[in-house]
Amino acid sequence: MVISTRFISLLVLSVFLSFGVFSCAEKEEKKASFEFTETEFNIRQTHEQSYVLDARGKIRNASPHDVKNLVVTAHCRSCVLNFTARAWFISGTEKTANQVAKIGYLAAGAAADFNFEEVAFYFTHEKYKPDYIPDNIEIVVESYEIVER
């Protein structure tokens, strides 16, 4: 039985392609999960007629992985995006250093306190403190790194 060169070339090419496909398969990416507890928001007066909303609470690493360089912040989903009197608003810019909490290291199962300022802003023409906190505020983890062991 004679095997053609074309058949052998096709077989060798198929083997090399299959090695390439299976070696490039994505490795399972490790992900961490977090729980937020004891979260509270406080209204703080910054000037005579302006206020900000600050946040504090605890974050627990609910995953089996230790994490480092954890960045926690909040997004006010019910706030308006432009400077408006007598309404909670946010800026459309990137978060500043005081608007995030940075946690250097958080072991699996461990908890840490966080706090940051200026989740939302409020301006009024009267000298009265806002009587409500926005409804839809979400505390989120912006970024973290898994600690490789």
Confidence of residue 71 (pLDDT cuts 50, 70, 90): very high
Q: Is residue 22 part of a domain?
A: no
pLDDT at 126: 85
> Which domain covers residue 99, as residue numbers?
34-146
Within-domain flag for 66: yes
Look at the chain and report how many structural domains it folds into: 1
Q: Which residue has the higher pLDDT, 145 or 18?
A: 145
Report the DSSP beta bridge partners of residue 40.
56
Stated length of the chain: 149
Query: At residue 138, what are phi and psi to the nearest 5 degrees?
Result: -120, 120
In a domain, 81, yes or no: yes
Domain-located, residue 18: no
Per-residue pLDDT reduced to its tens digit, 87-118: 999 987 899 999 999 999 999 999 999 999 99
Flag whether 26 is in a domain: no
* pLDDT of amino acid 92: 78
pTM, two decimal places: 0.77
Residue 7 or 48, more confident:
48
Q: What is the CATH number of the domain that holds 101?
A: 2.60.40
Mark 22-55 as b/e (b = at least 16 C-beta within 10 Å): eeeeeeeeeebebebeeeebebeeeeeeebbbbb
What percentage of the chain has pLDDT greater than the value 90? Answer: 68
Residue 82 inside a domain? The answer is yes
DSSP state of 131: S
In a domain, 24, yes or no: no
For residue 5, what pLDDT is reported?
72
pLDDT interval class at 19 (50, 70, 90): low
Q: Where are the alpha helices (DSSP H) in the chain?
A: 5-23
Q: In this structure, is residue 86 part of a structural domain?
A: yes
